[in-house]
Amino acid sequence: MRFKRLMIVSVAVTIFAAASVWVAYAQAPKATVTDPAGPLPDPTHIPLTLPKDIKWTGQEGRQQQGLLFGDPNKAGMYGVVIKWYPGNFSQPHFHDQERYAYVISGTWWMASTNVYDEKVTYPVHAGSVVIDKANTVHWDGARTGEKEPAVLMLVGMGPVKTIQVDEQGKPKTPPPGR
C-alpha cells in the first residue's frame, strides 16, 4: 500500500513539474514580425534557395519550369515549380512515372482525353492536389482570360519520360534526332 501511495505521489510530482515547465515555456516572450530577423540558418543543417536563385527554363509568357531539387532526368526524387501562363496548354501526352502536383496559385486547367480541345478542360484551383498516374493520357495548362499564371509544385521520381500521343492515344513517333 505504501509503495502504491509513493508511486501516485511520484507521478503527481512529475506531472506537476512538467506542467510548470510547459507553463513557463508557454509564457516566454514571443517574437513578432517587427523584431529583427535572426541569423541565416546553417546551410549544412537547412539548405536554402532564395527565389532569385531558382533556375528557370522555358519561355516567360508561355510555360516555365523552376528546378527546386533533384533532376527529372536522373534517378531519384525531384521537385519542380511549373508556371502555365494564360492561353497556353501542353498537347495530349503521358509520363512513364507517377507524379504529384500541388496547385500553389491560379487555376490549372486539365483534361484526360486523347483529343486536344480546350473546352473540355477542368479547373483545378489553388490548394488542390493532383496525382498524375503513370502511363495515363492527360494534358494541361491555363485558359485564356485567367488573370494570373497557374503555378504548381510537381514532385516525382526520375528518370521520367514524357510521351506525346495521337488522337487514338498511341505514342507519336519522335522527330528524328531526339
Under DSSP, the state recorded for 119 is: G
Mean pLDDT for the chain overall? 89
Is residue 40 pLDDT above 70, yes or no? yes
**Cell 502511363, located at residue:** 135
| 3 state DSSP class of 87 | coil
Give the start-to-end residue ranges of the domains of the chain: 1-30, 51-164
Tens digits of residue pLDDT in 54-105: 999 999 999 999 999 999 999 999 999 999 999 999 999 999 999 999 999 9
Contacts of 165 (CB under 8 A, 6+ apart): 92, 93, 94, 114, 137, 171, 172
Reported confidence tier of residue 52, pLDDT bands at 50, 70, 90:
very high
User: Which among 82, 81, 73 has a CA at the least distance from the CA of 161?
Assistant: 73
Cα dihedral 80, 62, 172, 97 in deg (nearest 10) = 10
Instruction: List % helix, strand, coil for the chain (3-state, nearest 5).
Output: 15, 35, 45
Per-residue model confidence (pLDDT) at position 173: 82
Give the end-to-end CA distance of the chain in Å, rounded to a whole number.
83
User: Which among 101, 108, 102 has a CA at the least distance from the CA of 84?
Assistant: 108
User: What is the mean pLDDT of the segment spanning 38-64?
Assistant: 94
Class of domain 51-164 as given by CATH: mainly beta
Contacts of 135 (CB under 8 A, 6+ apart): 94, 95, 96
Per-residue model confidence (pLDDT) at position 19: 58
Per-residue model confidence (pLDDT) at position 28: 72
> Which has more pLDDT, 172 or 1?
172
Is residue 25 pLDDT above 80, yes or no? no
User: What is the mean pLDDT of the segment spanning 135-158?
Assistant: 98
Is residue 120 pLDDT above 60, yes or no? yes
Is residue 172 pLDDT above 60, yes or no? yes
Per-residue model confidence (pLDDT) at position 176: 73
Is residue 159 pLDDT above 60, yes or no? yes
